[in-house]
Amino acid sequence: MAGRHSCMRNLDFRKTCATLAAAPMFLLWSEAFAADERDSGWYIGAGAGRTHLARGGTTGTAEDVHAERVSAAKVFLGYQFRPPVALELTHAWCGAVRTPVSFAGSSETFRIHALTFQVVGTFLRVENAALQGRIGGLAWRGFPRSSTPDEQGLGFAAGINLKFDIEKNVAVRADFDMYRNLLENAGLHWGANIVSLNIIGSFR
């Protein structure tokens, strides 16, 4: 009987030790889970920058297309899942281009708008700064100043950005965006690289 009671006491002691050892791990896991929950949520942003035409045949801008206005702006809405993944929808105003039309001696100016849907991933985070990358799809449209039909196309969008958190729900972000054609249904071949500075507000 004494041996049995000794085994029971040893078993209870081992259970107690295991519980005490698991408690800090559980607390750490709970804190990490709570931090992830706090970091998830919606965010919106807006910014301005400059457009640089990207040359390159059907995946970029044709040689006979020239920049008419290089100022750019964008607004975006995103949802941050548990770090490091987010989804982002962007509407960008990409300046204007001038291109020849079918009849000799005439040209047309198109205002370029782009809509992108991208996956955003955080590669590196150091305190309040984060290095992020993006990739996704692109739909663009060129609006002419005259009665010329609109031009439009589909492609891919990719980019990289450096984000810095100013406060809990406010951040600034420097973006480099790359827009390329994959398919056009008209004669305008357009692609661009865009640099911009943006302000972001999050709802967490």
In this prediction, residue 102 carries a pLDDT of 58
pLDDT of residue 79: 95
Report residue 196 as tokens.
């911009």
Q: Are residues 70 and 95 in the same domain?
A: yes
Residues 46 and 34 in one domain: no
- Tell whether 21 and 50 lie within a shared domain: no
For residue 192, pLDDT beyond 80: yes
Residue 102 belongs to domain with CATH number: 2.40.160.20
pLDDT tens-digit profile of 45-75? 999 999 998 876 556 777 778 888 899 999 9
Please tell me the predicted confidence (pLDDT) of residue 65.
82
102 and 2 within one domain: no
In this predicted structure, the answer to whether residue 7 has a pLDDT above a threshold of 90 is no
For 121-154, what is each residue's pLDDT tens digit? Answer: 999 999 899 999 999 999 999 888 877 778 888 8
Amino acid in the structure at residue 70 = V
Q: Are residues 25 and 87 in the same domain?
A: no
Q: How many residues in the chain?
A: 204
112 and 29 in a common domain: no
Query: Are 31 and 119 within one domain?
Result: no
Question: Do residues 18 and 114 both lie within one domain?
Answer: no
Q: How many domains does the chain have?
A: 2
Q: In one letter, which amino acid is 53? A: L
For the segment 74-119, what is each residue's pLDDT rounded down to a tens digit?
999 999 997 789 999 999 999 998 887 655 557 788 899 999 999 9
**Residue 189: pLDDT over 70:** yes
The pTM for the full model equals 0.75
Q: 24-58 burial by CB neighbour count: b if 16+ within 10 A, else e?
A: eeeeeeeeeeeeeeeebeebebebebebebbeeee
- For 15, the domain range is 1-39
Q: Is residue 49 domain-shared with residue 150, that is, in the same domain? A: yes
Environment class of 90 (CB within 10 Å of its CB; exposed 0-12, middle 13-18, buried 19+): buried
CA max distance for the chain:
109
Which tokens go with 185? 């249904």
